[in-house]
Amino acid sequence: RAGSRPFFNEPYVRRFALEHGRGYHVRIAIRPPRYELFVDDMLTLQFASTAVPAQAAPPTVGLFVDRATAQISDLRVYSLDI
């Protein structure tokens, strides 16, 4: 929609407690406009957004931890051509 404002739909969120010292497998799937976050293969966050069109900029990866510390290991990024 040309000229319309970006939007985020109401996200699906599944809350759960993280265990200190335990490792987690985290997977992020981005298929614009849908974004999904999986923790140990459990869907924990899902939303759609038109805020950043897929053609606007080359893909980048960033990690952010809020009010905590984290150890990141074995980080891999894949581009799936479908």
| Closest among 56, 1, 47 to 28, alpha carbons compared | 47
Torsion angles phi and psi, residue 14, rounded to 5: -115, 115
pLDDT at 52: 59
More confident residue, 55 or 35: 35
CA distance 56 to 52: 7
pLDDT at 7: 61
The dihedral of CA 41, 33, 46, 6: what is its sign?
positive
pLDDT at 67: 87
CA distance 41 to 27: 8
Torsion angles phi and psi, residue 10, rounded to 5: -65, 120
- Average pLDDT of the chain is 81
The per-residue pLDDT for range 10-43, each reduced to its tens digit, is: 788 888 888 988 999 999 988 878 889 999 999 9
